[in-house]
Chain A
Amino acid sequence: MTGVAVAAALSVLALAAATVGLGSFGRRAAVTATDLMVASRGVTSLWNASAISSEYISAAAFLGTAGLVLAYGTDTLWLPVAATGGFVLLVAFVTAPLRRSGAYTISDFAEWRLGSVTVRRISSGCVCFIGWFYLLPQFQGAGVTLRVLTGAPVWAGWALVVAVVLTLTLSGGMRSITDVQAVQFWVKLVAIAVPAAALLVLWRLDGADTPSGPPVFGGATTIRVQTESAVRVTAPTAVTVRGTLDGERHDGERVVLSARDHRVGAGAELVFPRGAAVPHAARLPAHSGGAWAMPSERGRDHALYTTYSALLAVLLGTMGLPHILMRFYTNTCGRAARRTAAMVPGLLSLFYVFPALYGTLGRLYTPELLMTGDTDATILTLPRRLAPGLPGSLLVGLVAAGAFAAFISTTCGVVVALAGTVSQCVLRGGTGSFRVGAVFALAVPLCVAWTAGTQNAAGLVTLALTVSACSLCPLLLLGLWWRGLTPLGAGAGLVFGGGLAVATGGAGLFLGPRPGWTAALLAQPALVLAPATLAVMVGVSLAFPRSVPARADRALARMHLPEEAVLH
Chain B
Amino acid sequence: MTEPRPSVPEPRPGETPALDPHGGTPPRRVVVANPRTRVARSVPPPDAGEPYAGEPYAGPYTGTGWNYATDLDEQTELGAVFARTLIRAQLRTALGTGGLVLGVVALLPLLAFVPGGAHAGPIGLPLPWLVLAAGIQPLWVYAARRQARLAETAEHDFARLVGRP
Q: Which residues of A contact B105 (CB under 8 A)?
A: 78, 81-82, 85, 311-312, 315
Interface residues of B in 58-99 (CB under 8 A from A): 69, 72-73, 75, 79-80, 83, 86-87, 90-91, 93-94, 97-98
**Looking at the complex, which of B5-13, B49-57, B109-117 is the stretch in contact with chain A?**
B109-117
Q: Does A557 contact B (CB under 8 A)?
A: yes
Contact of B148 among A91, A357, A360 (CB under 8 A): A91
Q: Does A290 contact B (CB under 8 A)?
A: yes
Q: Which residues of B contact A560 (CB under 8 A)?
A: 83, 86-87, 90
Contact of B112 among A294, A481, A561 (CB under 8 A): A294
Q: Which residues of A contact B109 (CB under 8 A)?
A: 75, 78, 295, 297, 304, 307-308
Q: Which residues of B contact A293 (CB under 8 A)?
A: 117-118, 126, 128-129
B79 to chain A, nearest CB (A): 8
Q: Which residues of B contact A239 (CB under 8 A)?
A: none
Q: Which residues of A contact B129 (CB under 8 A)?
A: 74, 77, 293, 356, 360
Encoded as 1 (CB less than 8 Å from any A CB) or 0, chain B from 13 to 29 comes to 00000000000000000
- B73, B104, B105, B138: most-surrounded residue (chain A CB, <10 A): B105
User: Cβ of B132 and Cβ of A77 under 8 Å apart?
Assistant: yes
Q: Does B42 contact A (CB under 8 A)?
A: no
A292 to chain B, nearest CB (A): 9
Contact of B132 among A74, A209, A289, A567 (CB under 8 A): A74
- B69, B75, B80, B125: most-surrounded residue (chain A CB, <10 A): B125
Q: Which residues of A contact B120 (CB under 8 A)?
A: 209-210
Q: Which residues of A contact B97 (CB under 8 A)?
A: 88-89, 91-92
**Looking at the complex, which of A29-37, A115-123, A342-350, A535-543 is the stretch in contact with chain B?**
A342-350
- A289, A296, A357: most-surrounded residue (chain B CB, <10 A): A296
User: Cβ of A562 and Cβ of B140 under 8 Å apart?
Assistant: no
Q: Which residues of A contact B128 (CB under 8 A)?
A: 74, 293-295
Q: Which residues of A contact B122 (CB under 8 A)?
A: none
B: interface residue count bin: 35 or more
Q: Does A217 contact B (CB under 8 A)?
A: no
User: Cβ of B72 and Cβ of A565 under 8 Å apart?
Assistant: yes
User: Cβ of A561 and Cβ of B83 under 8 Å apart?
Assistant: yes
Q: From known contacts A93-B98, A96-B151, infer whether A356 and B137 are also in contact, taking CB-CB under 8 Å.
A: no
- B79, B112, B129: most-surrounded residue (chain A CB, <10 A): B129
Contact of A557 among B83, B93, B132 (CB under 8 A): B83
User: Cβ of B148 and Cβ of A339 under 8 Å apart?
Assistant: yes
Q: Which residues of A contact B151 (CB under 8 A)?
A: 92, 96, 338
Q: Does A48 contact B (CB under 8 A)?
A: no
User: Cβ of B132 and Cβ of A561 under 8 Å apart?
Assistant: no
Instruction: For the complex, give the distance between the alpha carbons of A307 and B132 in Å.
Output: 15
Q: Which residues of A contact B30 (CB under 8 A)?
A: none
Q: Does A341 contact B (CB under 8 A)?
A: yes
User: Cβ of B98 and Cβ of A89 under 8 Å apart?
Assistant: yes
User: Cβ of A349 and Cβ of B147 under 8 Å apart?
Assistant: no
Instruction: For the complex, give the distance between the alpha carbons of A75 and B133 in Å.
Output: 10
User: Cβ of A353 and Cβ of B98 under 8 Å apart?
Assistant: no
Q: From known contacts A352-B133, A556-B87, infer whether A561 and B75 are also in contact, taking CB-CB under 8 Å.
A: no
Q: Does B40 contact A (CB under 8 A)?
A: no
Q: From known contacts A293-B126, A565-B69, infer whether A353 and B134 are also in contact, taking CB-CB under 8 Å.
A: yes
Q: Does A246 contact B (CB under 8 A)?
A: no
Encoded as 1 (CB less than 8 Å from any B CB) or 0, chain A from 341 to 380 comes to 1111110010011001100100000000000000000000
Q: Does A553 contact B (CB under 8 A)?
A: yes
Q: Which residues of B contact A561 (CB under 8 A)?
A: 72, 83, 86, 155, 158
Q: From known contacts A96-B151, A294-B112, A342-B145, infer whether A567 and B83 are also in contact, taking CB-CB under 8 Å.
A: no
What are 25 A-to-B residue pairs whose CB atoms are below 8 Å?
A78-B132, A81-B136, A81-B137, A84-B137, A85-B136, A88-B101, A88-B144, A88-B147, A204-B124, A209-B120, A293-B118, A294-B112, A294-B117, A307-B109, A311-B105, A335-B152, A339-B148, A342-B144, A344-B144, A346-B141, A557-B72, A557-B79, A560-B90, A562-B155, A565-B162
Closest 6 CB pairs of A and B: A349-B137, A77-B132, A557-B83, A293-B126, A342-B148, A92-B94
16 A-B pairs besides A297-B112, A339-B148, A562-B156 with CB distance below 8 A are: A74-B132, A80-B133, A81-B137, A88-B140, A89-B101, A91-B144, A91-B147, A289-B118, A304-B109, A311-B105, A342-B148, A345-B143, A356-B129, A481-B94, A560-B86, A561-B86
